[in-house]
Copies of this chain bind each other. A is one copy, B any other.
Amino acid sequence: MQDRGVLTVISGFSGAGKGTLVKKLISEYDNYSLSVSMTTRAPREGEVDGKDYFFIDKPAFERNIENGMMLEHAEYQGNYYGTPREYVEKQLSAGKDVILEIEYLGAFQVKKMLPEALLLFVTPPSAEELLRRLRGRHTETEEQIQGRMKRAIEEADIVDKYEFILLNDDLDTCVRQTHEIIQNAKFSVSRNAAFIEEIKKELTVTVG
């Protein structure tokens, strides 16, 4: 079977608990590696190049885009942000399961570049619970919260392009299920074309 790691893209409603889920997944199992983003914005105090972000200038970032070296990218407030392909490929080749926490436009860019990518979508058990969690943060105005809820309606329309739903009701259960889904993806037929070809060849030789 494949020794290559699985590239997993995790998206979800804001307020669904993606960040906490990803953090816990990575700290509980040692086969995961979080992707490091690339950006053209200036480093903030304390940020380390290659750890928090890969910091590069705009012309270099644009060359990366042209050369197919970005798995996905977006512009935000005049700066580029994206996922460099080389870093992800190195981790996957080393057998690491790479986690990318990005929103859906980025997720679909990644899937187009690397169809093997596993797309997971985090959701709370209900819309009511989502609203409760957003309000419980006490960090945003009601207007901002309503904005997030409207965005959730938009996002709900594209969930069917993902492979699995991660129902984040109990966090520990959700972390364990996420781990199982990613590990079992290694046995999906679509990710094992090479193994299937190999056994076909072997069978033909063995029967003679």
Contact = CB atoms under 8 A, between A and B. Distances in A.
Interface in A156-208: 156-157, 159-167, 177, 180-181, 183-184, 187-190, 192-193, 195-196, 199-200, 202-207
A160 to B, nearest CB: 6
Contacts of A1: 165, 167
Given A153-B200, A187-B165, A206-B128, A193 B160 contact: yes
A200 B159 CA distance: 10
Contacts of A123: 199
A131 to B, nearest CB: 6
Query: In the assembly, how many copies of this chain are there?
Result: 2
A22 interface: no
A126 interface: yes
Interface residues of A, number: 45
A79 interface: no
B193 A164 contact: no
A176 to B, nearest CB: 10
Interface of A: 1, 121, 123, 126-128, 130-131, 146, 149-150, 152-153, 156-157, 159-167, 177, 180-181, 183-184, 187-190, 192-193, 195-196, 199-200, 202-207
Given A149-B207, A150-B207, A162-B189, 16 more contacts: A1-B165, A126-B202, A127-B202, A127-B205, A130-B206, A146-B207, A149-B206, A153-B203, A153-B207, A157-B200, A159-B196, A160-B190, A164-B184, A165-B188, A167-B187, A184-B184
